[in-house]
A and B are shown apart, each in its own frame.
Chain A
Amino acid sequence: MLKFIKRSFDMRILFKTNYKQDLNLAKHSGHRFWYGLLILVLFAAPLILDGYYIGEATRVLIFAMAGLGLMVLTGFTGQVSLGHAAFLAIGAYTNAWFLAQGFSSFVALPMAALLSMTGGLLVAIPAARMSGIYLAIATLVFAIIVEDFAGHLNSITGGNRGMMVDVPMLFGYQIWQSWELYLFVLIILVATTLIVLNILRSPLGRAMIAVRDSEISSQALGVNPMKIKVFAFTVSAAITGLAGAFLSHYMLFLTPQIFGILLSIQLLLMIVLGGLGTVHGVFFGAVLIGVLETGISIAKDILPSSIGGLPGIEPLVFGVILVSVIAFEPTGIYSRWVKIRSYMEFFPIYRRKSFKRQRAYLKTERLR
């Protein structure tokens, strides 16, 4: 066993004997071992951690799911969205409403994803024609509209007074315990991650990356950028809507203020910190934000009240960490992880220069 762990750190020479090897999600025994172990530990976590930490972990998972949705759109298709809180809101309210009508989670969750997806489709059709700052503004406006709607649709959302969320119902069984909700979220998160990974290794995912890196040449290769962007928007909205549904269970009580601009920005920050354009980045970002929030609130209790009680300590710590990540590792935590990994893999011969950033060659701006 120990030998196996050691071997999974060693420099690995992969002998490729067929093309199918490149299609596998786990490329070698080390991947299978470590990712298997990670999933095992995640599923076993409720045995070790108590209710509070399981709750915190659930929030991390929910944010990871929402971040995964945003990553499909922003990280892989290159479309910035400042309005993903809107999809969270649509998912959360839809889920809560269907549960309140007496439907089970089997209806409520798919409806949350579906309605959010429809919202995504409606935004995508005009948004696919926009890019950069204009797209950011358009999605921001969409989020504000959705927030306002939630505040005024008293009969469905309870307006600004808020709305209670029933617990999830599966096969007539109500999920009351925090560890049950945790496992439920974890299973759905693993499934959505697999779907995203599948998209990325198939033609659709490559087309998304093509649209992100050069729209003009993607067109010359027969990719329809409009279609790909609309697809990315819909998938992204569906995943984020699903995350929203779980968020409603985590929150237990919904008010429109939860889904403000700050939530959108937090999501965007999360994936930028984690590493844009990587699935790992989503999870790194979600864990970082989660650990920070939990850590700060614990530290506040431990520290003397003259320091811990100071207002604005959270934004301060957040700000310092953000600035240092952007200053020292602009490509996110994931790329730091890649460096550490290759340091261990190539141990005596690792060179810092192998990750030096290359200058970008001139690109045709005339065609844009």
Chain B
Amino acid sequence: MSFLEIKNLSISFGGVKAVDDVSFAIEEGSVFAIIGPNGAGKSTIFNLLSRFYEPLSGQLHFSDNDLLELGAKDIARLGIARTFQNLELFEHASVLQNLLVGRHVHNNQSWWRQMLFTDSVVDAELEHRRKVEEVIDFLELAHYRNQMISGLPYGVRKKIELARALCIEPKLLLLDEPSSGLNLEETEEMGFWIEDIRRDLNITVVLIEHNMSLVAEVSDRVLAIVNGRVAAEGSHTFVQSHPDVVSAYLGDAK
């Protein structure tokens, strides 16, 4: 069985079939890109994987776990981390606090120990902090460590959301439009980081992306979704030149 396997996934909102019989599989250690026009159902696939939505039909398997048996709060524990298209950071908390929330799945201290802040909690906190600092070093966020999110520019927030996802120490990372809202330089940086995440941290990455040069740079396989259906799957050159994909973006030549 593949690392992540999606079979015949469907969901509809009212009369709109947002995701319609989509199947694909992702190998461990690869970078997999999902492309498609706006409203094609890309983010819906992520929200289905995060179990925010209940699918009409289909199967979701992640390394021998049936995701449909789990709730949204259990997904992170399996080692699936994600970012959001429009940023979902904890605005009124510091960068450090945001990243430490990413360590929540690794917390095993009972509530009364936390209330008394016993030595075991202190030790656990120091351990979380060390892990968080590794991520801070990795993404070069040291400068922002103690700042509030509400005062930071968009590009930095984007990076912090990625950092927070990495704090989970995930096996699979879902990135929803990592380059949207970033300038040219930041986009390039994001490309390097995605490659580093795959190579150095050994994390499988799935990204939804509109920027084709970033997709070409980092991804091993590309999946094109058009109107909730799979239009093409393969290497980025194959998908980019596939007639169904071209017509979805540019319209039919008549």
Contact = CB atoms under 8 A, between A and B. Distances in A.
A19 B100 CA distance: 13
Given A203-B109, A207-B101, A216 B126 contact: no
Task: Kindly state the interface size class of chain A when it binds its partner.
Answer: 35 or more
Contact of B104 (A20, A23, A216, A223): A223
A202 interface: yes
A118 interface: no
**SS class, residues of chain B in contact with chain A:** helix
A19 B126 contact: yes
Contacts of B73: 219, 222-225
Nearest to B102: A221
Contact of A222 (B76, B87, B100, B154): B76
Contacts, number: 126
**SS class, residues of chain A in contact with chain B:** helix
Given A201-B117, A219-B73, A222-B73, A361 B154 contact: yes
A210 B116 contact: no
B130 interface: yes
A129 B105 CA distance: 22
A195 interface: yes
A231 B110 CA distance: 12
Given A216-B52, A223-B73, A206 B47 contact: no
B237 interface: no
Contacts of A210: 90, 93, 101, 104
Contacts of B42: none
Contacts of A217: 84, 88-90
10 contacts: A198-B115, A198-B116, A198-B117, A203-B114, A214-B89, A218-B90, A219-B50, A219-B52, A220-B75, A222-B73
Interface of B: 47, 50, 52, 72-77, 81-82, 84-93, 96-97, 100-105, 107, 109, 111, 114-117, 121-122, 125-126, 128-130, 133, 150-151, 154, 157, 164, 168
Interface of A: 19-20, 22-23, 195, 198-199, 201-207, 209-210, 212-214, 216-225, 231, 277, 358, 360-364, 367
